[in-house]
């Protein structure tokens, strides 16, 4: 029997509940397709600070690096918000991305037909729907540049710096071209080349590579314009490639036009098959422990793991189709129910499991 060892980083807030849902779904798929999953939990984020004094204990890094892939819930919460930058829960995310070499972040944002009514954009704007794949650079740029405090012209001053090497730009651009090649062959590279030197190098390298991908149509867009175009006409986008910070911002914007951030999974990938999969939403401390959270983004992150880490296409399809079916049948968690009676986290998970089990 095929066996995969998966590290679980449940984290804080709703993290444990949504990861438990994804685990139950994967176990159901495993049973059906004769795949065995060994799940091993490790501490990350606020809970790791509470229990070990560090947001990312060495044991967690070692466990992730020894696993076949990693599933993460969410980190952070008000309890740890006043800690200094280097021991905040969020620091653990940057640390694990860096330790695992996860330079690619794939963030798909598509409009589910069943959720069209949730989209805040005018009906005519989304008449054709949209299906966007954001390829975000994840281990470079301003997130990882030199930063600190110093005495400046006006006294106390803080600074963060952005740098990108040719190597970093080339490898993420290649992932983006390859991704576009498997989709609608349309790549938009987003930068701020009218101001930033890093963006000018980014743009130059993206175009240098174009000759190797003659089947892909590539164009540039400035990030401010892109933010506008995403709400003006989202269906013009197929694959987007952009830097760490621009990708962070634009992916939140893209998530909102799909209706709920509770639906969006992500995959963070390296140059090997070990990845880290997580919902793009946060830890939602206000509803933690109440069995109210939407687990679909995490369940779909499990589907992405099946596809990108293990090439288990059937497993991935089973999960994605089951989620589609459950939404089509009108089942909703509170984030999508507008005050109407909603299913709990565990109830919607049961529905998805039922749909998988019945091949529905
Ligand atoms: C994300 C988050 C993180 C990021 C934070 C929590 C460090 O916003 O995954 O999008 O900015 O990458
Ligand atoms: Mn973000």
**Residues involved in catalysis:** 143, 192, 224, 248, 252
Residue 167 CB partners (closer than 8 Å, separation 6+): none
Q: Mean per-residue pLDDT for 269-279?
A: 97
pLDDT digits (tens, 9 = 90+) for 232-273: 999 999 999 999 999 999 999 999 999 888 899 999 999 999
pLDDT digits (tens, 9 = 90+) for 8-18: 999 999 999 99
Task: Tell me the HSE value of 181 on the side-chain side, using a 13 A CA sphere.
Answer: 11
- Residue 87 — pLDDT band, cuts 50, 70, 90? confident
120-257: which CATH topology?
Isopropylmalate Dehydrogenase (3.40.718)
Q: Can you give the pLDDT at residue 335?
A: 92
Q: Can you give the pLDDT at residue 260?
A: 83
Q: Is the pLDDT assigned to residue 49 strictly greater than 90? A: yes
**Taking the domains of the chain in order of start, what are their residue ranges?**
1-102+284-360, 120-257
Any idea which residue has 């989304």 for tokens?
126
Distance, in Å, from the CA atom of 344 to the CA atom of 346, rounded to the nearest integer, reads 5
Q: Can you give the pLDDT at residue 356?
A: 97
Q: What is the separation of C-alpha 205 from the centre of its chain, rounded to a whole number of angstroms? A: 25
Question: What's the 18 CA to ligand 1 centre distance in angstroms?
Answer: 18
Q: Is the pLDDT assigned to residue 302 strictly greater than 80? A: yes
pLDDT digits (tens, 9 = 90+) for 169-227: 999 999 999 999 999 999 999 999 999 999 999 999 999 999 999 999 999 999 999 99
Question: Across the chain, what does the average pLDDT equal?
Answer: 96
Q: Is the pLDDT assigned to residue 135 strictly greater than 80? A: yes
Residues with CB under 6 A from ligand 1: 90, 93, 248, 280
Q: Mean per-residue pLDDT for 267-281?
A: 97
Q: Among 86, 90, 97, name the best residue to mutate to test ligand 1's pocket (greatest count of ligand atoms within 8 A of Cβ).
A: 90
Q: Can you give the pLDDT at residue 359?
A: 75
Phi, psi of 5 (to 5 degrees): -100, 115
- Say what percent of the chain tops pLDDT 70: 100
Q: Is the pLDDT assigned to residue 116 strictly greater than 80? A: yes
Atom of ligand 1 nearest to the CA of 266: 9
Question: What's the 19 CA to ligand 1 centre distance in angstroms?
Answer: 18
Residue 10 CB partners (closer than 8 Å, separation 6+): 16, 19, 20, 41, 44, 47, 72, 73
Name the closest ligand to CA 244: 1
Q: Return the SS3 of 160.
A: strand
- For 146, the token pair is 């030199």
Phi, psi of 232 (to 5 degrees): -85, -40
CATH superfamily for domain 1-102+284-360: Isopropylmalate Dehydrogenase (3.40.718.10)
Q: Is 120-257 the same fold as 1-102+284-360?
A: yes
Cα four-point dihedral sign 282, 284, 285, 288: negative
Distance, in Å, from the CA atom of 20 to the CA atom of 241, rounded to the nearest integer, reads 32
Atom of ligand 1 nearest to the CA of 105: 9
Distance, in Å, from the CA atom of 356 to the CA atom of 292, rounded to the nearest integer, reads 22
Question: What's the 248 CA to ligand 1 centre distance in angstroms?
Answer: 6
Distance, in Å, from the CA atom of 311 to the CA atom of 302, rounded to the nearest integer, reads 12
Alpha helices in 182-222 (DSSP H): 197-210
Q: Is the pLDDT assigned to residue 360 strictly greater than 70? A: no
pLDDT digits (tens, 9 = 90+) for 193-205: 999 999 999 999 9
Q: Is the pLDDT assigned to residue 84 strictly greater than 80? A: yes
């Amino acid at each position: 029997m095929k066996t995969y060892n998966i590290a679980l980083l449940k984290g804080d807030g709703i993290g444990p509940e949504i990861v438990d849902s994804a685990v139950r779904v994967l176990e159901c798929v495993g049973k059906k397709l004769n795949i065995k999953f060994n799940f091993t939990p490790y501490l990350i984020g606020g809970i790791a600070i509470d229990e070990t004094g560090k947001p990312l204990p060495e044991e967690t890094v070692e466990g992730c690096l020894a696993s076949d892939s990693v599933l993460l819930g969410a980190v952070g919460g008000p309890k740890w918000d006043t800690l200094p930058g280097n021991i905040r829960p969020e620091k653990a995310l940057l640390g694990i991305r860096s330790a695992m070499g996860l330079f690619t972040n794939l963030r798909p944002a598509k409009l589910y037909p069943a959720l069209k009514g949730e989209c805040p954009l005018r009906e005519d704007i989304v008449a054709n729907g949209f299906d966007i794949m954001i390829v975000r650079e994840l281990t470079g740029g301003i997130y990882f540049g030199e930063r600190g405090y110093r005495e400046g012209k006006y006294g106390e001053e803080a600074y963060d710096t952005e740098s990108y090497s040719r190597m970093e730009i080339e490898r993420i651009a290649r992932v983006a071209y390859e991704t576009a090649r498997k989709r609608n062959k349309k790549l938009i590279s987003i930068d701020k080349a009218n101001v930033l030197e890093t963006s000018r190098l980014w743009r130059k390298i993206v175009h240098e590579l174009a000759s190797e991908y003659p089947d892909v149509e590539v164009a540039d867009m400035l990030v401010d314009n892109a933010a506008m175009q995403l709400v003006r006409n989202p269906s013009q986008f197929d694959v987007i490639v952009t830097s760490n910070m621009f990708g962070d911002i634009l992916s939140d914007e893209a998530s909102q036009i799909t209706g709920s951030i509770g639906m969006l999974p992500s995959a963070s990938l390296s140059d090997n098959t070990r990845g880290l999969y997580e919902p793009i939403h946060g830890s939602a401390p206000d509803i933690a422990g109440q069995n109210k959270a939407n687990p679909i983004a995490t369940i779909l992150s499990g589907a992405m793991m099946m596809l990108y880490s293990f090439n288990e296409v059937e497993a991935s399809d089973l999960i994605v189709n089951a989620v589609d079916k459950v939404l089509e049948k009108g089942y909703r968690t509170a984030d999508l129910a507008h005050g109407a009676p909603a299913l709990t986290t565990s109830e919607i998970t049961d529905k998805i499991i039922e749909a998988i089990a019945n091949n529905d």
